[in-house]
Each structure stands twice: as C-alpha cells, then as structure tokens.
Structure 1
Amino acid sequence: MTQEVLCGLVGGKSIEWLRQIENGKRDVDKLSTIVAVAEALKIAPSELLPGPFRTTARATRSLGSAPEVVPEIQASMLRHDGIAGLLNLPNRPVSPEHLRRTVERAFVCSQTERWSDMAPLVPDMISDAWHLVRNAETDDERRQAFGLQALVYRVTSGMLDRLGESHLPWVAAERSMHAAEQTGDPLLIAGGAWRLAVVLRHAGRLTESTDVPVAAADALRHRLDHPEAYSVYGSLMLKGAVGAATLGDHKGVRDYLAEASRAAEVIGDRNDYWFAFGPTNVAIHRAWLSLELSDPAKAIELASFVPHDKLPRVLAERRTSHLITVAWAHYLKRQDREALDALTAAKAAAPEQLLFTRRVHVMLQGMLKRERRSIKSDLRAMAGFVGTVA
C-alpha cells in the first residue's frame, strides 16, 4: 500500500503528516487515529498499540516496583481458575470480613495510585476470593463470595491496565463480570460492564467500548431510586461519553455527558462503588472530552472551573488525571512552562501515576526535544523522576 492510499483511507491526511509520524516528529495522540490506520492496513489495532509499558527509573525504592509483582499475579490468576481442580489445591478457610477489608484497602490504593502498595495484596486476594467461593454453602454465602470476587478482579484489572499489561486486564475484567453476574446484583454487574468498557477501549474496540456502558446504564434506568444507583449510572454514562469522543461522535458526547450531569446534580460528589462520581468528576471529564475532540484551548478553559484542589486525598487519582489532562492541553499548544507546572502539581498528588502514564512520557520526550532554556532544569528533573529520555 502506498503512502498516498494509506493517507486517503485514514481521512485524507497528508503524506507529510504520515512522514512526521514515521520519523518520530509527530505524536499520534488519539486512539481513534491508531484504530483508523489499523483498519486501513487490515490488521488488529493491538498490533499498532504500544506494548506493555515499563518505567525506566524509580525515584525511591518504594515507587515503581509494582511491575515486579505481575508474574506472581499472573500465576495466581492461572492457578485459581479452570485448572484449580486439576491442581487439587488444598482447601483452606477464608474470612469474608478479612477479604472485604483487603479489597477496601486495594481500592484505596487504586484511587490514590499507590500501585507498589497494592500489587503485593493482589495474589492473595485472588486466592482468597477463589477459596471463599469454593467454600460457600448457602445461597447467601455464594452471593457474598462472588460479590467480593467481582470486586477483587475489578480492582486487579484496573491496576494491570495502569501498569500497561495488554492481556491480563481483559481476563480480570471478564472474571469480574462473570462473578458479578452470579450475584444477581445489578449494580455489581454494571460495575463489571464499566471495567469491560475500559479494556475494550484500550484494545481498540471503540464501538463496543461505547455500546457496553450505555447498554448497562440503560438497564439501570428503572432502578434510579437511591444514590448508589445514580453513582453507577452516571459513571457508565461518562464512560459512554469517553467512547463517543474517541469515535469523534460529538452528539454522543453531548448526550451522554448531559445524562451524567443530571445524575450528578441529584446526588452530589460521592464515592459509591469506588467510582468517585459526582459534579466534580463530570467537570473533570468535560475538560478531558474537549481535549479528545481536538480542542485543547477549550479544555484549558473548562479545566479552570474544576475544583480539583478540593477533592479529598483518597481521590488523588482523579486530581492527578485532571492535571495530566491540563498538562497535555498546554503541551499541544506548545506552552511548556504551564505543562510542566501541571505535571509538578500532579506529581505532588500521586507520583506513581506519572511513572505509569504513557502520555506523561510522550509529553516529556517532546519537551526535551524542543528544550527551552527557561525550564531546562525543572524539565530534566521531572524527566529523571519518571525515567524519560529524549
């Protein structure tokens, strides 16, 4: 296939645009562009998506160590699945309350992006959840066990996703969904759909990443009679808006965002089911969506209205994600000082999030290439912290 033909198939891009990407002079900053190129080449988007990400440096011994636990997590996932019966694993009692406390601790780590603290918890959580399901004798015990297993795999999928694993987050998300379905709890099932939407998007399955959360939200419409239901419903609508933005569907973004906004107005800021849903999270998404729809100036304007500094410490991930969005918007406008200031604030809130966010590394690489004297010292210090080289 010639460059001219490929450019035509991905929306009439110029040959110079393609050459700049091939030479590393231009970043492909939108997932939809990667998917469009993959479709034109008749290959799976995963073949063009970046491989598992590994930070190349650590600030301290306590940061950046989570990837070292991934092989142990993978082994636990393998042992505690279909082959468990073949392995004849010895039975052992598990306290539901102990597992629940561990799951809660894991979600706190997730929402504060403390992956090096969370990772060591995961192998035993997977094992404990499996044994709890195996030991359940009554219907109530089974529902409780499957409910905890659904949460174990949901939080595990999120961590593995952040660490850049490609296959394991999908497996964990499917197991979370399966366990949730065994409970018959519509909110747990919807939470599983939310996580599936994330891994679908990261796998380049953009249409499904929109359809799944919207369908799950629609299934909750007749259950919106308490705050927890509104939280999950609104979170799913936000995920639908994310998928629509990735597809370039402006109307879908407006519609889903409006639904999320209405839900947020009803309940205010909450953290039901660890979704951190409410008006503040809607505002954070509104800025991100403008950026995804190629309007960094609008994103910067909207970001100025987000009261991220008022978010509780336990929601550090939300604050840091927002600041990374702000940094990326300034970076695209070549406002490197402002971008670096936003990254510095993000580092103060959740340093490990910077280590394991590819967009941060892309930004720093770009700024290092066009290094400006006024920010040289601060830029190199930040690049050294996250392990980025030009």
Structure 2
Amino acid sequence: MLLSVLLLLVGHAKAGYNGAVFTYSTKDVQGKKFSVMHRYKLSYSSYEELELRCTSCSNTEESIGEWCLGEFASKWKNMNCGSYDDGLNTGNWIDNRNSISTSLAQMFVEVRNRSDINKPNSSPQTRVLPVVRVPSNCPRNISLLTFDPDGDEVKCRYASSSLECDTCTPPSVFSLSSSCMLSFSPTGSSSEGPYAVQLMMEDFPREIITLTQNDGSISLRNTSSALSKIPVQFVFKVDPAAPSCTEGEYLPKFLSPTPEHGAQIFIDVNQTLEIPIRAEATQSVITELLFSGPVDVVKNSSGSGHFTLRWTPSGDENDESHPICFVVQANVTSSVYQSVHRCVVVTVGNRPTVTSTTVVAPTIPLTTSNPPPRTSYLTVLKLKISTMLSLKDNHEFILKAIKDELIRRGLHPDIKVHLVHPVQWKLKKQLPPSG
C-alpha cells in the first residue's frame, strides 16, 4: 500500500525495529463520500535509523540510547465505502528472546457504512511505548488502551497468520487476556532480556449490524465478527530484579493530579491542553517522562517527578480521538525502573451532548473548614447491566467497572459511584454451547 514507497528498507543496517501501532479514523462524511485518516507509529533504535527507514515520519519522542518514535499520517480523501488491507514490512526486530527477526505490520480497514451509527467504521484508538520494562521479580499488569470511537467492544489476541506476522512466536513471560491485559508474574534471571510482542487489536459490534457498500450490496456482522484489525507491536523487556517491588520506592508511583488510565478529555481545535503528571520514587532518581502521542505534543519538566504535556490540536486533528500514553522512568546507577503504563484519550471538537432523563439535585458539602466554594451534585442514573457476576460477591468490582465506563465517557475521575437500593439484579445463567 501507500507506505511501501515511503519506507527505505536498508538490508544491511543494524536490526533496530522496536514496534508499531497503526490506526485509522473516518471523518468529513458527506453522503457516501468521506475521508480516512491513517496514522502509523513506528519505532527504531535511533533517530538516524528512523530517518533512513521512514522518510516521511515526524519525530515525536525518544529515549536516549534506546529508541526513537515517529509518526506518519496520511489523509485519504473522497473514499468510497469498502474494505481493504494496509500493511508493510518494517525491517528487522532488535535481538529478542523469542527469536523473531523479520517484522510485518498489517491493518485491516473496514469502511462500509454501518447500520447502527449510519457512517463508516473507525478502528480502536490505542498507543503503547516502544519499550515496556519490568523487573524480573515484580508482578505487573499492563492494561493496553482500548478506546473505540464507535463504542464497539475491543479485544486483543496474538498475531497468528502470515498476513499479520512473519514469525509468530508469542513471548513466554506473560499472559494476554482478550480484554487486552498483559499479566507478568515474577520469573528467574534466566528469563531476563527483550521480547518482541506482536498483537492484533480488533473491534466488535455490540449488536447485529449491516455493512453497506456504495453499490448497495449488504453484509451482515454479528457480535463475534471483527470489523477492523490493527497491529500493536512493541518490546517487552524483563530487567534484573529490583530491591523492592513496592510502588513509590524504586518503581515510580503516579500521584494526583495525574489523570487515571483510560480517562477521556474533550478539547476544541486551537485550544491548549495541559496534562499534569506527578510521580515519586524514594529510593531511585526520576530521570524522564517517556510518552507516545500526537507529533506536536510538548513535554516540560519543573523538577524531579513534575512533568506537563501540552498539546494544541489543529484542524487536521478535528473530529478524531488521540491517545497519549506515558511512563515515568527512574534510575539507580545502571538500573532502570519504569512506572506502570498509563494512557488518556483526547477527543477533539466532538464533545458529548447530554440528554437528560437524569435527576440532578444539589447536595450540601460535608465540611467543617472554609475551603473555596465547591459545587457537588447527586446524579441518579437508571442502568441496565448484563453480567455473569454475582452482585453479592463482586460488588466492588462491578462498581469500579461502572465508574471506569462513566469516566471513559467524559465524567471527572473523582466521581463516586453507589448502587441505590432496592436494586433489581437478575443473575444470567450460562447456557451450554450449542451444537
């Protein structure tokens, strides 16, 4: 496809590929015509190699001596409803423990008109740092961002076919759930080193829908049929054991007002966004903030563990959702320690509208001091939830899931969620598989 003429593959250059993430968004819908914005994030060992391999990439961020990250964006105008593949050979992976050499990144683009939203599909929007690190003795759950602008269910799996990977050996040091959670358990020093991670992220409709092409032909999609497929590739590095796995000691710990993972932020074109990021580490020295985001995000530091990301979106980013992912990194002599991996989603020029069947009433702040006035609200929502879980045994987990979804839809991370009694709760019985 398009990128094949933009990449200069250097056959005898040192292997230095660290991964890639491809996404696409549909916009400017006018009847049957629309635009598709393709965004390709590519990472190599150095800025020089990135320049050699991707002549049209804009540099976004780098970790000195380890990796450099760039982005190429292409807007395809006056598109017709259809579907197609977009992939490329990105060179050779860095040396890794699962013996993967040649890389291959492939995206499946579905842009036929959807019956449920009456416009073409957009892929899940996600990002990941090129190198994610964890000490060999520390458990770590890495939750990949799974934001879908169409509200679809997002799932992850290992790349598995010849169109998705050249060598498809998954890393042996962690497990992957369909909800895009990577779980690492402590292991021995014999497992230390870098691993090449090759995942596919897919979006699934939440109900049966039809997809209509320009010629009027219709295809059916159910809830188990993937719409689009995007590659998520990076290096997972198992480092030597840390003296302690407690967050805030050697491993940096995020502090308020750092936004929570998955928070959605709304902003207008030409409006400047500031994302404060705070972290502490009492037994190591915080050295840098590493991030992956739009090419013109600016990073500032105002002291150890005090960072700010600033971004002013232009008209080119309008009507899109842009992930920004980050980690804080610390050092003790030659040892490197990373915080957990966090991401937020910034939606430009497409603020949600609130239609109210909600009951809103002011409440009295419970305070005995005299802080600046603050307004609180009680909002009552009537929700229908389907789950296999028991409310009695999973009360806190269910509340957290509801809160996370409300934050994803734009509410403030400080909201408190309570179930108002009486609650009608019907346990859905699991049916045996058919056939």
TM-score, length-normalised on structure 2?
0.19
- Structure with bigger strand share is 2
The structure with the largest alpha-carbon Rg is 2
Which has a greater percent of helix?
A: 1
Q: TM-score, normalised by structure 1?
A: 0.21
